[in-house]
Every structure is written in structure tokens, then in C-alpha cells.
């Protein structure tokens, strides 16, 4: 018995009335959501059509935000190029007809083509598909190359990766005796799918998804969709899926893949398969999202931005960045190769030698080892562009394999243990490495947690252990392979300056760590900026106690020493360890994070006279990653009395943007005429341009750029050594490049601050920490500094509680045994120092900080804690 198509009831949340249509095609009635009528009524001609196909067990309601967003964008006060959106209910699904016929994948692709023929759909068309709507939409794309302009995919697959079974949830649904019960007789499959959303779907939204599947007869399509999953090579739909998968590899149109990594159905292997077929695709990973990514993220804004920038006609306001082709400089490994003729130390690894003595690696040894490993990597199948993740603690081994991988044109993925196991795993899964080089702990984690990539061990393992960890080679094996290749006269690939060289992960202090992509040219420019500004070179000895700088010594041609301790956990570095390292390398430069500086000062009483003497030979101290209090710098100055203390401003996306000395900080404190406050991070170094995008009344950057003094806004920087972009974070990358042009590559930092009359930059906080009260916009850092001064140096944080626009300010001061309200005396001094109305003054034994730097205060966590505490909930410690 056939049941005709119908339209959904009115009043469904998020779905304006007037978009439903019933169309007859392929011998049946289809329900569509289509904004074409609204565009026609407004006299707007779309430049193309987004053809959207849902999966199982959803319906066209899944695409409601895209339909609404596209319509509002086309009809708004400042309209964008208009796109028609047509979202279909596949036959037997949603509000389309129930014909009682079993439909295979090939049927669905052919019927979708018949529908678009009946609609008279003309190009350009961008297909969009989710779940098993992905193969259907891609089948249409493969069959309509003359109309196709682009492809958008949300958590889907076109092929089950070889050697991997069908995902467990689908295997369970396909099990004998389960299929009918789970998919049709009961709503179990539907309810399970809807329960995957995080946060949970609102009850009214969940009910809207259920509505077309109210009884077993209406759920027959859900049953048939699951039954049609090609779980084996003998399945009736396997040939059609194979045809589509092969055709996808030939699609030359732009593609966007939006991915929720928490999907239990379509995992990282499916994403990897898609990207192997469409290596040109833009990717945006929405960390924290899963299978129902369309319900968990603002995917519609990303899609509309993508089609506007990728497929709309080019204009003078096009915001694409420059291609980074600055004047080329020598490769990052060149100084090391030059120094190979010098009989001098290159690396000193404290405590890594026999009996705990320093391990000294001379330049000739380092250059030879890098050369052998580079040839060995090529012999082992590593090719230019392959991603090589390095799970090796800072050491001579890490340095050698990193330079070897960069030398052959591979992309090194550097995500250190300072991210924590969860953050490290998220970073590695996001980067999808082809190869993992690891010490034993990293290899064990990779095996246990299913991280992708072939395995190479730093140490030589027993056959049993190597087999259990899926290790193919050790570094010793690679060196032997490399020597054989060198003896045979083989050469190495020659990377171009514009080739990708590295993915360096951010600290994760303001959200999930992001992979920052650098080209060879940009890494060389970074090396040159550091060498030029701080006069670093072959005669420099560097103590590298800050993870990013532990790898830069060979690029600078300088000897470097890794102090005893864990540079990925800065609080573990002691004064004695730093002094011993300085003495071993005859060092004149210290690279230390603020947390490391604090611990060096705290452990200085244990220094022996010889260690104190070694510190007197230090001429330059650099500390980056977070603001450094003046009192801490002054204490460090007592330990290194002959050194100039620098606190450069930068970020993973550009490690050196501005610089200031302790003397400069003191001078700035006396000349802060506008009284805005914040941390003065000095003047831009050579080649760096700093501008400000002023904040509006809602605390958002306005988009314009200025160098006028005293204007608070988002800090925007440009420099030859700026990053290339974010890896597989298309939407984040777009925002960061909002001010970029074809001529100038700019980065919107997410930091907030102002320039003063001397051209110095003052940092006032992060954009996400800007508070908007009933009295206006407030940035936190200046007020926090005044509170810290008034409380004798106790760390403080300023957060807001309540709705944006009417936020109440709460000050939180570190100290006390138990968290809660501050005593009356402390509260009074804090309120006087803040010079702003405070709703409350709280104390807690310690303020939460980021993992890597151990210095950046987690204001977001504190705001949630303060809100809960003031509501009377048991908040515990933040």
C-alpha cells in the first residue's frame, strides 16, 4: 500500500513555514524543503543551488539551519550572493511517499537524478550529504559533472577502509534477529541516533526528528536503509558504492569536509579515506562534535562562508591570504650542514650519557646522523608531504629525526606531552599522521588508543614487543637503511620554500590545541628573525628549557643544551639543573618559560658557588608563552646579574612578534599615560607589523584596522615568519585570516590590547575573556594587575557572571585553605584596587592554569566555578 507524501506540521523549531514542497518524480511523490519560492518572491536570483541529502534515520529537517541561513544571507540588509537550498526527503523517509519498495543505493542515486531533472535544476550545483546521504549525494555528483560546482560532506563515507570491519553500531543493527526489532518494530535505531548529539537535542527538536517515523509502517525506510549497507563484497549495493568511490577520486571541483571526531559510526579511517580520494578538500574538524555534527555546531555558517569564498565570483575585497612567497632564505638545516666541518659540540643532553653524565653530540656526528636518518626514511617509504608525528621527548634523538624528516620534505607533527594524554591524542588523531616515531611510552599510547600511522621506534625493541606495538623499524634500522642508500649514490628530495614543513600544536590553553602549519620558507624566516634580533649564531651556547626552542639550536648553528628535567613540564626545571646545563654548554642564552623561571627562583637556595658562577656568564634571558611578573624578572635578574632579560610576545602562529626588556617594562610602567593597563610587551621587531581591530559595544572586533594609540581591540599581526594556516580547521583559519590580502599575510591573534603613543603593544587579555557589563566593555588584565599589586603579588583573575551585556564582575584571588568568599579586609583592598564595581571577591587555594605553560590562568573554568558558587551550588575547587 502506497502512502502519499505530505508536508510537516507547522511550528517545527527552527523551520520557518513556507519552505515545504511536494514534487512528483521517479514515479513517486517527494517532500522537499526549498527556499527558492522565498527568493523568487523577493526578486532575488540565486547564483547556484545547494542540493542537500540527509542520511538514516533523519530527514530534510537536518538542513533547516542551512536553508534559514542562506535565505537570511540573501535577503539581509547587506546581502551576500544568494544560494537556493533544496533539501530532499529520500523516498520511504521523512515526509516523502511510502511506496513499500526496497531501494538500493543505485536506485536512490538514479531517483535523485530524476528528481533534479523534474525540478529543472541548472548549475552550478553544490551537493551536501550526511551519513548515508553522503554516497547518494556523491553518486549524483559523479553522474552530473556538467552541473557540479562543489561538494560538501558531513560525517560520511564512500567506502569502508580496507581491513576494517563495518562500524560496531551498524554491525549490531545488521545482526540476525536484530535488524527488524531495532529499526522498524521499535524506534531503537532512531532513538540511539538522536541520543548521539552533544549537548543533547532539545526535546522539541528530538520530537521533530521523530515525527515522520511515528509507527512501524513509517519506519520501513529506516530498516531498508540499514539493510542496504554494503557490509561485504557480495552485497547487492557494493558495485554501486565502488563505482561512486572511484568516481569521487576524479572530481576536480572544490570540496569541504566537516567532521565531528566523536562519531561512533564514521571514524578517522573514513575521514582518511575521503581525503585520499579528495586530497584538495578543505577540512574543518569540530572538536567535541560527533555524528550529528549538523546539530552540534554552526555548520551552516561554515558552509555559507565556504561557498561564498570558494565559489562566488572573485572581487577586490577577496580576503584570501598571500601565498607566502617572501624572499627565500637558506633551508633550516643549512647551518647544521655547514657546521659539520667543525669539531665542536652541537647538542648536549644532560643526564642522557653513561652513568647519568651529559651526552655530547658533535656537529659532524649530528649532521651524519640526520643524513643517515633522512635516507633511511626515504628507504622506508616516507615521501614528501607525508605527515610524521614525533612522540619523542626533547633529546638528541628528537632533534636528529626531526631534521631528517624535514630534510626529505615530510611534514613533522609536533605535539608534546605537555598537552596531556587526552589533548595529545586529540592532536594526533586530528593530524592523521602517516608515520609515528616514538619512544616506548608514546608507542604504547599509540597502540592502546588506536592512533593512526605506521610505527618507528627510537630504541631497538625485541621482536615480540615490536610486533605487539606494530613497530616496523627502529632509528637504528633507519640509519642502516640510510647508509646503504648513501653508498648507492641516491639523493634526497629537495623541498621548496612553499612546501609544508611542520604542524606545531598550540598549548590548548584557550580550547582544544590547534595544529599550526608552517612552510619551509616560514620556518627559515623564523630562524632568521631570532638570529637577527638576539644575535644568535655559531658562537652562542643556548640552554633550551622551553619546548619550542629545544629544537632550534641546529637551525641557528648554535650549540644547545637540554637541561635535566622535563621541558614539557616547566615547573620541574630547577635552578641547579639550569645552572648545570649552562656550565656544560658554556651558555650565554637562556630560553625558559615563565613557570620555569618561577621554579628556578624558588629553588635558587640550593645553588652551589660554581653553579652561581655559571649563571653570571649568561648575557640574554628569554621567557615567552605567558606574561612574566616584574617582581619575578627582578628575582631572576639577581641570579643572572650580567644578563638582559627579554619577554618577547608571540604565539605558536608566530613565535616572535614584539620584544621588551625588564628596563623597558619599568619605563612603560611610568609612561602608561592613558591608564588602560595590561602587560606591555614592547615594540614590533624588524619586519613585524602590529595593528588593532577596535572592539564594538558588544566586545567584538569591528573589522577595521588602526595604529592609533589608546584604542583597545583585537591584535592583528603580519610578518614573514607568520604561520601558513591552521591544519584541518577551515573555519578557524578563515577567521584568523580575516584581514589577510593577496599581498599581506595577517593573523588575527585572539588577543586584545592597545598600542601606546610610543608604538608599544599592551596586551589586555584574550578576546574570549572580554567582559561586557551594563557600563560597557571591560578587559581583565589591567584590573588583575592592580589587584595583584594590592594583595602583595597574589595571582588574581577577573571573570564575569551572568548574561553578556549585563555581566557582573567577580575577582578571584589565589590563596587561603578553602575556596569561597574572601574575608572583609581582603575584599575591601581588592575592591579599592579594582576601581570597578565588583559583585564578589572570591579566594581559592590555587588558580587553574594551562597544561603546557603552567602559567596561563584558565578564566573560563574560573567563571563557571564562580557562577556555581554564587548560585549556592557546591562548587568545590575550580
pLDDT in tens, 39-85: 999 999 999 999 999 999 999 999 999 999 999 999 987 788 899 99
Q: What is the C-alpha to C-alpha distance for residues 784 and 799, in angstroms, rounded to an integer?
A: 10
- Residue 547: which pLDDT band, with cuts at 50, 70 and 90? low
Nine-digit cell string for 728? 584541518
Would you state the pLDDT for residue 321?
43
- Residue 675: which pLDDT band, with cuts at 50, 70 and 90? low
Mean per-residue pLDDT for 252-257? 97
Length of the chain: 878
Phi, psi values for residue 380, rounded to 5°:
-85, 5
Would you state the pLDDT for residue 16?
86
Domains within the chain, CATH numbers bracketed: 20-309 (3.40.50.1820), 334-568 (3.40.50.12780), 657-718+746-758 (no CATH), 770-870 (3.30.300.30)
- Residue 240: which pLDDT band, with cuts at 50, 70 and 90? very high
CB-based contact 672:756 (threshold 8 Å) = yes
What percentage of the chain exceeds 70 in pLDDT?
Answer: 93
Q: Strand, helix or coil at 622? A: strand
Would you state the pLDDT for residue 320?
43
What percentage of the chain exceeds 90 in pLDDT?
Answer: 76
CB-based contact 810:798 (threshold 8 Å) = yes
pLDDT in tens, 737-750: 989 887 888 999 99
pLDDT in tens, 159-213: 876 666 666 677 677 777 788 999 999 999 999 999 999 999 999 999 999 999 9
**Helix (H) / strand (E) containing 309:** helix 299-310
CB-based contact 564:541 (threshold 8 Å) = no
Cα distances from 851 to residues 65, 597, 855, 856, in angstroms, run 36, 16, 8, 9
Would you state the pLDDT for residue 352?
67
Nearest to 276 by CA among 168, 162, 390: 162
Beta strands 840-844 and 808-814, pairing class: parallel
Q: Supply the DSSP string of 811-872, one letter for each residue.
A: EEEE-SSS-EEPPHHHHHHHHHHH-S--SEEEEESS--B-TTTS-SB-HHHHHHHHHHHHTT
Q: For the ranges 335-339, 405-409, 506-510, 725-729, which has the lowest average pLDDT?
A: 506-510
User: Which residue, chain included where needed, has cell 584596522?
Assistant: 705
Average model confidence (pLDDT) across the chain: 91
pLDDT in tens, 814-853: 988 889 999 999 999 999 999 889 999 999 998 887 555 4
Q: What is the C-alpha to C-alpha distance for residues 673 and 787, in angstroms, rounded to an integer?
A: 19
Nearest to 404 by CA among 363, 362, 439, 369: 369
Mean per-residue pLDDT for 419-439? 91
Would you state the pLDDT for residue 524?
95
CB-based contact 603:615 (threshold 8 Å) = no
28-34 sheet: strands from edge to edge: 20-25, 28-34, 83-88, 48-53, 125-130, 148-154, 255-259, 282-285
- Residue 669: which pLDDT band, with cuts at 50, 70 and 90? confident
Between the two ends of the chain, the Cα-to-Cα distance in Å is 61
In terms of phi and psi (left: phi > 0; alpha: psi -120 to 50; beta: otherwise), the region of 497 is alpha
Q: What is the C-alpha to C-alpha distance for residues 694 and 696, in angstroms, rounded to an integer?
A: 7
Would you state the pLDDT for residue 746?
94
Q: What is the C-alpha to C-alpha distance for residues 143 and 114, in angstroms, rounded to an integer?
A: 12
Would you state the pLDDT for residue 318?
42
Would you state the pLDDT for residue 77?
77
Q: What is the C-alpha to C-alpha distance for residues 24 and 186, in angstroms, rounded to an integer?
A: 30
Nine-digit cell string for 108? 536512490
Q: What is the C-alpha to C-alpha distance for residues 114 and 26, in angstroms, rounded to an integer?
A: 6
Mean per-residue pLDDT for 566-592? 88
Radius of gyration of the chain (CA): 30
Q: What is the C-alpha to C-alpha distance for residues 51 and 83, in angstroms, rounded to an integer?
A: 10
**How many Cα atoms occupy the beta-carbon half-sphere of 493 within 13 Å?**
23
Instruction: Extract the runs of DSSP E, i.e. beta strands, from 327-474.
Output: 345-349, 359-362, 387-391, 411-414, 435-438, 454-457, 471-474
Number of Cβ atoms within 10 Å of the Cβ of 777: 16
Mean per-residue pLDDT for 596-608? 94
Would you state the pLDDT for residue 509?
67
- Residue 322 pLDDT > 60, yes or no? no
Nine-digit cell string for 268? 578517522
Amino acid at each position: 500500500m502506497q502512502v502519499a507524501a505530505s508536508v510537516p506540521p507547522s511550528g517545527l523549531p527552527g523551520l520557518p513555514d513556507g519552505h515545504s514542497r511536494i514534487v512528483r518524480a521517479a514515479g513517486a511523490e517527494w517532500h522537499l524543503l526549498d527556499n527558492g519560492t522565498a527568493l523568487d518572491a523577493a526578486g532575488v536570483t540565486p547564483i547556484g543551488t545547494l542540493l542537500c541529502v540527509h542520511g538514516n534515520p533523519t530527514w530534510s529537517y537536518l538542513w533547516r539551519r542551512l536553508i534559514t541561513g542562506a535565505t537570511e544571507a540573501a535577503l539581509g540588509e547587506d546581502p551576500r550572493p544568494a544560494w537556493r537550498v533544496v533539501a530532499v526527503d529520500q523516498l520511504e523517509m521523512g515526509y516523502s511517499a511510502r511506496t513499500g519498495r526496497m531501494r538500493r543505493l543505485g536506485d536512490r542515486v538514479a531517483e535523485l537524478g530524476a528528481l533534479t531533472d523534474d525540478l529543472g535544476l541548472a548549475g552550478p550545483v553544490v551537493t551536501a550529504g550526511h551519513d548515508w546521504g553522503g554516497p547518494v549525494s556523491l553518486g549524483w555528483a559523479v553522474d552530473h559533472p556538467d552541473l557540479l560546482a562543489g561538494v560538501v560532506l558531513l560525517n560520511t563515507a564512500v567506502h569502508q577502509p580496507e581491513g576494517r570491519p563495518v562500524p560496531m553500531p551498524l554491525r549490531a543493527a545488521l545482526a540476525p534477529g536484530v535488524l527488524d526489532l531495532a529499526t522498524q518494530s521499535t524506534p531503537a535505531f532512531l532513538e540511539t541516533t538522536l541520543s548521539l548529539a552533544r549537548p543533547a537535542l532539545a526535546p522539541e527538536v528530538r520530537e521533530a526528528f521523530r515525527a515522520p517515523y511515528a509507527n512501524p509502517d513509517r519506519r520501513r525506510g529506516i530498516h531498508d536503509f540499514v539493510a542496504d549497507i554494503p557490509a561485504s563484497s557480495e552485497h547487492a549495493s557494493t558495485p554501486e558504492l565502488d563505482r561512486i568511490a572511484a568516481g569521487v577520486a576524479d572530481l576536480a571541483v572544490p570540496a569541504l569536509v566537516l567532521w565531528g571526531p566523536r562519531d561512533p559510526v564514521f571514524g578517522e579511517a573514513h575521514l582518511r579515506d575521503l581525503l585520499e580520494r579528495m586530497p584538495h578538500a578543505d577540512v574543518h574538524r569540530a572538536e567535541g562534535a560527533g555524528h550529528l555534527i549538523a546539530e552540534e555546531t554552526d555548520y551552516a555558517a561554515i558552509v555559507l562562508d565556504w561557498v561564498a569564498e570558494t565559489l562566488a565570483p572573485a572581487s577586490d575585497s577577496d580576503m584570501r591570504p598571500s601565498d607566502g612567497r617572501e624572499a627565500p632564505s637558506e633551508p633550516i638545516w643549512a647551518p647544521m650542514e655547514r657546521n659539520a666541518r667543525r669539531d665542536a659540540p652541537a647538542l648536549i643532553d644532560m643526564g642522557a650519557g653513561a652513568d647519568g653524565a651529559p651526552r655530547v653530540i658533535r656537529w659532524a656526528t649530528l649532521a651524519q646522523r640526520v643524513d643517515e636518518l633522512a635516507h633511511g626514511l626515504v628507504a622506508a617509504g616516507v615521501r614528501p608531504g607525508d605527515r610524521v608525528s614525533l612522540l619523542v621527548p626533547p633529546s638528541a634523538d628528537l632533534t636528529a629525526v626531526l631534521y631528517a624528516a624535514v630534510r626529505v620534505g615530510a611534514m613533522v607533527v609536533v605535539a608534546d606531552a605537555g598537552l596531556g594524554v587526552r589533548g595529545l591524542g586529540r592532536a594526533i588523531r586530528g593530524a592523521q599522521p602517516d608515520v609515528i616515531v616514538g619512544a616506548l611510552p608514546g608507542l604504547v599510547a599509540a597502540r592502546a588508543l588506536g592512533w593512526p600511522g605506521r610505527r618507528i621506534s627510537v630504541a631497538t625493541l625485541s621482536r615480540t614487543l615490536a610486533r605487539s606495538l606494530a613497530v616496523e623499524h627502529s632509528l637504528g634500522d633507519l640509519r642502516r637503511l640510510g647508509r646503504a642508500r648513501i653508498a648507492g649514490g641516491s639523493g634526497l628530495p629537495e623541498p621548496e620554500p612553499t612546501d609544508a614543513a611542520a604542524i606545531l600544536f598550540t598549548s590548548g590553553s584557550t580550547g582544544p590545541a590547534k595544529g599550526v602549519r608552517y612552510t619551509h620558507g616560514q620556518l627559515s624566516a623564523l630562524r632568521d628573525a631570532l638570529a637577527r634580533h638576539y644575535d644568535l649564531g655559531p658562537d652562542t651556547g643556548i640552554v633550551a628549557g622551553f619546548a619550542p626552542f629545544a629544537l632550534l639550536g641546529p637551525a641557528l648553528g648554535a650549540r644547545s643544551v637540554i637541561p635535566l628535567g622535563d621541558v614539557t613540564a616547566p615547573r620541574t626545571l630547577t635552578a641547579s639543573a639550569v645552572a648545570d646545563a649552562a656550565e656544560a654548554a658554556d651558555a650565554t642564552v637562556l630560553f625558559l618559560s615563565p613557570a620555569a623561571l618561577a621554579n628556578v627562583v624558588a629553588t635558587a637556595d640550593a645553588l652551589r658557588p660554581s653553579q652561581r658562577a655559571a649563571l653570571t656568564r649568561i648575557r640574554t634571558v628569554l621567557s615567552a608563552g605567558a606574561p612574566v611578573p616584574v617582581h619575578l624578572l627582578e628575582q631572576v635578574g639577581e641570579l643572572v646579574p650580567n644578563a638582559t632579560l627579554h619577554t618577547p610576545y608571540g604565539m605558536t602562529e608566530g613565535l616572535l612578534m614584539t620584544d621588551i626588556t625588564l628596563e623597558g617594562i619599568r619605563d612603560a610602567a611610568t609612561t602608561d599615560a592613558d591608564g588602560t593597563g595590561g602587560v606591555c610587551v614592547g615594540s614590533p621587531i624588524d619586519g613585524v607589523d602590529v595593528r588593532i581591530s577596535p572592539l564594538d559595544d558588544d566586545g567584538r572586533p569591528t573589522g577595521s584596522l588602526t595604529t592609533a594609540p589608546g584604542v583597545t581591540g583585537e591584535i592583528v599581526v603580519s610578518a614573514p615568519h607568520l604561520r601558513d594556516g591552521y591544519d584541518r580547521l577551515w573555519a578557524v583559519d578563515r577567521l584568523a585570516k580575516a584581514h589577510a590580502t593577496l599581498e599581506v599575510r595577517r593573523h588575527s591573534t585572539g588577543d586584545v590590547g592597545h598600542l601606546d603613543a610610543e608604538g608599544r603593544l599592551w596586551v589586555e587579555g584574550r578576546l574570549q575573556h572580554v567582559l561586557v557589563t551594563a557600563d560597557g566593555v571591560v578587559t581583565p588584565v589591567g584590573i588583575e594587575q592592580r589587584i595583584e599589586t594590592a594583595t602583595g603579588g597574589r595571582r588574581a583573575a577577573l571573570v564575569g557572571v551572568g548574561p553578556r551585556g549585563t555581566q557582573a564582575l567577580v575577582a578571584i584571588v589565589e590563596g587561603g585553605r578553602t575556596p569561597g568568599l574572601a574575608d572583609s579586609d581582603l575584599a575591601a583592598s581588592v575592591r579599592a584596587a579594582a576601581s570597578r564595581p565588583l559583585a564578589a571577591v572570591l579566594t581559592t587555594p590555587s588558580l587553574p592554569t594551562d597544561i603546557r605553560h603552567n602559567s596561563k590562568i584558565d578564566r573560563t573554568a574560573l567563571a563557571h566555578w564562580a557562577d556555581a558558587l554564587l548560585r549556592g551550588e557546591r562548587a568545590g575547587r575550580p
